[in-house]
């Protein structure tokens, strides 16, 4: 459900502060569904109900993408000045560990972990805290290029290094 006074008009967009959520217009959704192996969900407005917009739903992989030692190094390199040796925290309600935020390429990604039939996948690791937590998400290049072409002002391709 999107709660906003103004609904985005871009062909491809990410709701504010939801870094693992990608929404696409009806036109782009039709093309994505036809060409790629992805799951899609409906997007609703609180007062108006369903829209033609779709959310691309990444399949979460089961195996961790990053080794804990690699994530610890990446987190300390990025956040050490402000957080010292702290690398994350556990949720008080569910106990899930959430790393301090780092990008996908700041720690090596295991090739075995990202094997999937889906063209968009999400890591089992969580980053950030509270409502600002997110997973790492990878798009196969052809899908990423199609999304970039649909909305070039809002997107950029970043090459992921998979070992």
Alpha-carbon gap, residue 13 to 148, rounded angstroms: 11
Spell out the residues 6+ positions from residue 46 whose beta carbon is closer than 8 angstroms to its own.
1, 2, 3
In this structure, the number of other CB atoms found within 10 A of the CB of residue 43 comes to: 19
Tell me what pLDDT residue 16 has: 75
Which residues does 45 contact at the CB level (< 8 Å), separation at least 6?
1, 2, 3, 7, 51
92 band by pLDDT with thresholds 50, 70 and 90 = confident
pLDDT: which is higher, 60 or 154: 60
Domain assignment of residue 161, given as a range: 1-163
Using one digit for the tens of pLDDT, what is the confidence trace for 16-49?
Answer: 767 788 999 999 999 999 999 999 999 888 878 8
Q: What is the mean pLDDT of the chain?
A: 89
What's the domain count of the chain? 1
What sections of the chain are H helices per DSSP? 26-35, 68-83, 141-150
Q: Tokens 């036109």 sit at which residue?
A: 27
Which residues, at least 6 apart from 32, have a Cβ–Cβ distance to it below 8 Å?
24, 38, 40, 54, 56, 143, 146, 147
Summarised one tens digit per residue, pLDDT across range 119-161 is: 999 999 999 887 778 899 999 999 999 999 999 988 888 888 8
**Residue whose C-alpha is closest to residue 122's, from 76, 66, 33, 57:** 57
Give the global pTM: 0.87
């Amino acid at each position: 459900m999107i709660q906003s006074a103004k609904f985005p008009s871009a062909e491809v967009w990410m709701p504010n502060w939801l870094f693992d959520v990608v929404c696409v217009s009806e036109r782009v959704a039709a093309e994505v569904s036809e060409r790629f192996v992805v799951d899609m969900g409906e997007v609703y407005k609180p007062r108006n109900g369903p829209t033609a917009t779709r959310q691309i739903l990444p399949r979460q992989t089961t195996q961790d993408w990053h080794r804990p030692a690699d994530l610890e190094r990446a987190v300390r390199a990025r956040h050490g000045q402000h957080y010292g040796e702290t690398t994350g925290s556990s949720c008080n309600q569910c106990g899930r560990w959430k790393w301090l935020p780092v990008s996908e390429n700041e720690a090596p990604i295991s090739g075995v972990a990202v094997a999937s039939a889906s063209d968009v996948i999400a890591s089992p690791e969580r980053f950030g805290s509270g409502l600002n937590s997110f997973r790492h998400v990878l798009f196969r290049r052809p899908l990423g290029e199609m999304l970039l072409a649909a909305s070039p002002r809002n997107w950029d391709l970043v090459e992921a290094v998979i070992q």
